[in-house]
Amino acid sequence: MKHTIKELEDIASQIRRDIVRMVHGCQSGHPGASLGCADFFTALYFEVLNHKTDFTMEGVGEDLFFLSNGHISPVWYSTLAHAGYFDKSELATFRKLDSRLQGHPTTHEHLPGIRIASGSLGQGLSVAIGAALAKKLNGDQSHIFALLGDGELQEGQNWEAAMFAPFNKVDHLIASVDYNGQQIDGPTSKVLALDDLQAKFEAFGWHVINTDGNDMQAIVEGLHYAKTLTGKGKPILNLMSTQMGAGVDYMVGSHKWHGTAPNDEQLASALAQLPETLGDY
Amino acid sequence: MKKYTYTEKKDTRSGFGAGLHEAGKKNENVVALCADLVGSLKMDAFIKDFPERFTQVGIAEANMIGIAAGMTINGKIPFTGTFANFSTGRVYDQIRQSVAYSNKNVKICASHAGLTLGEDGATHQILEDIGLMKMLPGMVVINPCDYNQTKAATMAIAEYEGPVYLRFGRPVIPVFTDPDQKFEIGKAWMVNEGTDVTIIATGHMVWKAIEAGEQLAELGIDAEIINIHTIKPLDDEAILKSVKKTGCVVTCEEHNKFGGLGESVARLLTTELPTPQEFVATNDTFGESGTPDQLMSKYGLDAVNIVEAVKKVIGRKKA
Ligand SMILES: Cc1ncc(C[n+]2csc(CCOP(=O)(O)OP(=O)(O)O)c2C)c(N)n1
């Protein structure tokens, strides 16, 4: 391990502070699942991913990450800043005019760390598969990681990709699902239930693992374990249970915080729960 | 310049929500579908009163268009609701084959069109949807200008038989049209009669055109302002009549100048009455994050831009 679990938890706490401050600062954006995925992003970028912070689009010899549910950009931007891709002061520009930190991630403004635009849901798994195929053709043994929302899985393109990857033995791919059970109009179980996702992906030929996405130890171990499963003919799906709003008590578990910004009072309450560990931007 | 005032600002999407509710009360064949954006589309009143006539499809727009097309086959009048990008580009072939080519009575209702969607940024800010939809044979394309007109348009399309694309937006803007107006598909609305220039505007740009008209009046320029809410079929007659009188035209839209209202007007004029024309529209670009007002200003969609375009086109007329 490069860091202790405590160190990683501290990083995640800072990222959570950044998320609520960024969303508060522009009074828009998506705090709920950003908070829920803070532990995953910390584990990925500070422990699991083999990556360089002097960013190149190609990332030859590096592991690549693709965010399909682009609306959780705050957690990604904060993670990239603390990992060293760009200065954390730039987080203050989130969603503001002339910023590289667009509402949804984009290559258009050339923010280091981003390799494809996302925001319109359901497209990221296909892109990750494409990147994995290209690496394979180049003889590059690196891993491709992707994150998808659970509601996002209602988009049919995911299932085209889900069918393609095992059939074509795309086996350096580790896709995680942010399984928080919530989407905009309510709990996923009420909008359009996903039911037994594990059985569905297994039926398509994926190797499915389950992790607790809000337990740092579990998520680090889970992602390391996922890496050991690659190269064996099957893509890996990490069904990662998380809580929307994790870390901020009044946001936990509610779809109402999918895309709502906290007011001043709510911000203060959130920050009181999240220790500043690396210094605010 | 005729005086227009307003007492309140409302979003056009709320006009859609109110119109859908009214259409639902009038005709029990009106049904609604949504792809996980009920609140954004203001469908709550319809859902509350007609829960059995509402279908939540989840985040699956292609499926939604297909289901809507199928529902027409037993006499339903489906109104689909999602953001403009996911209502058009996302599902273009589903609309093309199952709705337009099959001539099905589906009403594709699209909110958050254009730059004024704001902070979500370019992935969500479609500026190409009018072009995409107007190119489909048989598709009616409507972009109303305020809450009242959007409400009236929503009720009118329920009574029209055939595929319709209805485009509206997110921000609150002045409510200045008649609350009891009768909406006639394909009929331009004369906002102000004038003699020096024809300003043709659609959607959120109509209020900006009125502001520009007031500024122009102070400069001694008498602008005729026409609201084209129906981009297809275009009201050729109203446009030609006005342009014959004024001899020049400025078109205004929150859309790419490629493929928008301006090009429809240019096509009409080049064949019938070649006329100097200027375009107030986005210039072949994607949008970005920012507040609606900041974006309208940065991308040249403010009253000042209309005033500038008018001065320029009048100059070309004299030359
Ligand atoms: C194609 C498409 N349709 C609709 C939307 C609007 N939208 C943004 S996020 C979202 C819900 C996503 O649910 P989920 O993946 O569970 O993410 P979470 O609510 O957990 O953040 C929707 C419908 C979109 N961005 N793209």
Kindly give the confidence (pLDDT) of every residue in chain A, 281 residues in length, as a single tens digit, with 9 standing for 90 and above. 899 999 999 999 999 999 999 999 999 999 999 999 999 999 999 999 999 999 999 999 999 999 999 999 999 999 999 999 999 999 999 999 999 999 999 999 999 999 999 999 999 999 999 999 999 999 999 999 999 999 999 999 999 999 999 999 999 999 999 999 999 999 999 999 999 999 999 999 999 999 999 999 999 999 999 999 999 999 999 999 999 999 999 999 999 999 999 999 999 999 999 999 999 99
Q: Which residues of B are catalytically annotated?
A: 61
Name every residue whose Cβ is closer than 8 Å to that of residue B59 and which is 6 or more positions away in sequence: A121, A122, A151, A152, A154, A155, A183, A192, B35, B36
Strand-pair partners of A178:
A149, A240
Q: Which two tokens stand for residue A211?
A: 């992790």
Q: What is the pLDDT of residue A1?
A: 87
Largest alpha-carbon pair distance within chain A? 53
Roughly how many angstroms between the first and final C-alpha of chain A, as a whole number? 27
Kindly give the confidence (pLDDT) of every residue in chain B, 319 residues in length, as a single tens digit, with 9 standing for 90 and above.
Answer: 999 999 999 999 999 999 999 999 999 999 999 999 999 999 999 999 999 999 999 999 999 999 999 999 999 999 999 999 999 999 999 999 999 999 999 999 999 999 999 999 999 999 999 999 999 999 999 999 999 999 999 999 999 999 999 999 999 999 999 999 999 999 999 999 999 999 999 999 999 999 999 999 999 999 999 999 999 999 999 999 999 999 999 999 999 999 999 999 999 999 999 999 999 999 999 999 999 999 999 999 999 999 999 999 999 987 6
Starting at the edge strand that comes first in sequence, how are the strands of the sheet with A236-241 ordered?
Answer: A64-67, A144-149, A173-179, A236-241, A207-212
CA A81 vs CA A14, A88, B282: distances in Å: 11, 5, 33
Choosing among A192, A195, A257, A260, which should be mutated to test the B contact, i.e. which has the most B CBs within 10 A? Answer: A192
In degrees, rounded to 5, the angle at the alpha carbon of residue B124 between the alpha carbons of residues B278 and B304 is 30
Contact between residue A206 and residue A162 where contact means Cβ atoms under 8 Å apart: yes
Report the atom number in ligand 1 closest to the C-alpha of A148: 15
Q: What is the per-residue pLDDT for B294? A: 98
B88 and A CB contact within 8 Å? no
Chain A positions touching B40 (Cβ under 8 A) are: 184
Taking CA atoms only, the protein residue closest to ligand 1 atom 14 is A151
Of B56, B118, B286, the CB nearest to A108: B286
B121 touches chain A (CB under 8 A): yes
Q: DSSP assignment of B16-46, as one string?
A: HHHHHHHHHHH-TTEEEEESS-HHHHT-HHH
DSSP B105-139: --EEEEES-SGGG-TT-TTT--SSHHHHHHTSTT-
CATH number of B189-316: 3.40.50.920
Of the candidates A120, A152, A192, the beta carbon closest to that of B85 is on: A120
Residue A255 corresponds to which amino acid?
A: H
Please name the member of B36, B37, B123 whose beta carbon is closest to the beta carbon of A120.
B123
Q: Say whether A103 and B124 touch across the interface (CB within 8 A).
A: yes
Q: Which residue has the tokens 């779809």?
A: A255
CA dist B42 and B15 (Å) reads 9
How far, in Å, are A8, A10, A46, A210, A219 from residue A5 at the CA level?
5, 9, 11, 20, 10
Q: Check if B21 contacts A (Cβ < 8 Å).
A: no
Q: What are the tens digits of pLDDT across the range B13-66?
A: 999 999 999 999 999 999 999 999 999 999 999 999 999 999 999 999 999 999
All domains of chain A, ordered by start, with CATH?
5-273 (3.40.50.970)
Instruction: Please list every residue in chain A whose beta carbon sits closer than 8 Å to the beta carbon of residue B63.
Output: 156
- Cα A117 to its chain centre, rounded Å, is 14
Q: Of A249, A248, A189, give the one whose Cα is nearest residue A19.
A: A248
Mutate to test the pocket of ligand 1, among A183, A188, A257 (most ligand atoms within 8 A of CB): A183
CA B204 to chain centre: 8
SS3 labels along B58-82 = CCCHHHHHHHHHHHHHHCCEEEEEE
Q: How far is A77 from chain B (nearest CA, A)?
A: 15
Chain B: residue whose CA lies nearest to A121: B59
As to burial, measured by CB atoms within 10 angstroms (0-12 exposed, 13-18 middle, 19+ buried), residue B127 is buried
Q: What is the pLDDT of residue B319?
A: 63
| Residue of the CA atom closest to atom 25 of ligand 1 | A120
Question: Which residue of B37, B43, B59, B111 sits with most ligand 1 atoms within 8 Å of its CB, as the best mutation to test the pocket?
Answer: B59
Q: Whose CA is nearest to atom 23 of ligand 1?
A: B36
- Inform me whether the C-beta atom of residue A194 falls under 8 Å from chain B C-beta atoms: no
Nearest to B309 by CA among B199, B193, B219, B207: B199
Nearest residue, CB atoms, A185 vs list B38, B90, B119: B38
Domain residue spans in chain B? 9-174, 189-316
Residues 216-235, chain A, touching B (beta carbon < 8 A)? none
**First and final CA of chain B: distance in angstroms?**
26
A184 touches chain B (CB under 8 A): yes
Q: What is the pLDDT of residues B147-172, one digit of tens each?
A: 999 999 999 999 999 999 999 999 99
For ligand 1, the distance from its centroid to the CA atom of residue B81, given in whole angstroms, is 14
Identify whether B276 is preceded by a cis peptide bond (ω within 30 of 0). Answer: no
* Phi and psi angles of residue B83, each rounded to the nearest 5 degrees, phi first: -65, 155
Residue tagged 């589906």 (tokens): B106
- B189-316 has the same fold as B9-174: yes
Residue nearest to atom 16 of ligand 1 (CA): A151
Tell me the three state secondary structure of residue A69: coil
Can you spell out the DSSP letters for A176-201?
Answer: EEEE-SEETTEEHHHHS----HHHHH
Task: State which of A71, A252, A254 you would mutate to test the pocket of ligand 1, scoring each by most atoms of that ligand within 8 A of its C-beta.
Answer: A71
Superfamily of domain B9-174: Thiamin diphosphate (ThDP)-binding fold, Pyr/PP domains (3.40.50.970)
Give the gap in angstroms from C-alpha A156 to the nearest C-alpha of chain B. 7
Phi-psi region of A200 (alpha: psi -120 to 50; beta: other; left: phi over 0): alpha
pLDDT value, residue B275 = 98
C-beta separation of B168 from B144 below 8 A:
yes
